[in-house]
């Protein structure tokens, strides 16, 4: 049975999924308020994993690198890159597709959250408290500069995704 930290993180995935769903619910225009909530929430969630959880897991594993953690970090970079340009339906479709695979890496059996659950109760309680008290992330304004999409495409390619697969959506 998942512990409190696992449940906290999985519940946050559901909350973020709901925000993203609301952002693209209308066929006529994107809900910029819902997208802004999603963007800030995803950046906070990524920060929790990158700054709090992954270092603890890596420390518990020693120097043994896990391909799972490598892919999670590549996904985080791709997702963060997709939050830089102004949102489009294609960008939202790419985010949704990446998050579907990414959340499975974290929530499924043998995933990151199960690995975290192997830590001691004291370590888990400390991580949960740190996660709950993680500050909101102040997102910079979107950047529509001429090179932003090129950089976004490179970040996605490093993680194994191709933005053009989603742009017709």
pLDDT of residue 124: 95
How many of the other CB atoms lie within 10 Å of CB of 112? Answer: 23
The number of folded domains in the chain is 1
Q: pLDDT by residue (tens digit) across 39-98?
A: 999 999 999 999 999 999 988 888 777 899 999 999 999 999 999 999 999 999 999 999
Average pLDDT, integer, range 101-110: 96
In 3D, which of 39, 43, 49, 37 has the Cα closest to residue 10?
Answer: 49
Tell me the pLDDT band of 168, cut-offs 50, 70 and 90.
Answer: confident
pLDDT, mean over the chain: 95
Q: What is the pTM of this model?
A: 0.95
pLDDT of residue 136: 94
Residue given tokens 């929530």 in the structure block:
107
Task: Give the DSSP per-residue string, 60-118.
Answer: HHTT---HHHHHHHHHHHHHHHHTSSPP-HHHHHHHHHHHHHHHHHHHSTTSHHHHHTT
Please name the residues in contact with 108: beta carbons below 8 A apart, sequence gap of 6 or more: 114
- Give the range of the structural domain holding residue 81, as residue numbers without chain letter: 4-165
pLDDT of residue 106: 97
- What ranges make up the beta strands (E) of 14-161? none
In 3D, which of 70, 52, 50, 44 has the Cα closest to residue 5?
Answer: 52
């Amino acid at each position: 049975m998942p512990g409190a930290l696992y449940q906290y993180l999985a519940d946050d995935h559901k909350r973020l999924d709901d925000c993203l769903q609301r952002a693209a619910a209308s066929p006529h225009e994107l809900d910029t308020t819902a997208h802004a909530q999603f963007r800030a929430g995803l950046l906070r969630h990524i920060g929790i994993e990158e700054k709090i959880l992954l270092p603890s897991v890596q420390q518990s594993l020693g120097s043994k690198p896990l391909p799972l953690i490598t892919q999670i970090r590549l996904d985080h970079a791709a997702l963060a890159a997709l939050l830089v340009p102004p949102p489009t339906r294609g960008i939202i479709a790419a985010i949704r597709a990446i998050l579907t695979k990414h959340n499975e890496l974290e929530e499924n059996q043998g995933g990151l959250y199960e690995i975290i659950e192997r830590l001691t109760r004291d370590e888990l309680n400390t991580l949960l408290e740190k996660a709950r008290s993680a500050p909101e992330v102040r997102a910079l304004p979107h950047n529509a500069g001429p090179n932003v999409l090129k950089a976004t495409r490179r970040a996605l390619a490093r993680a194994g995704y191709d933005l053009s697969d989603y742009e017709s959506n």
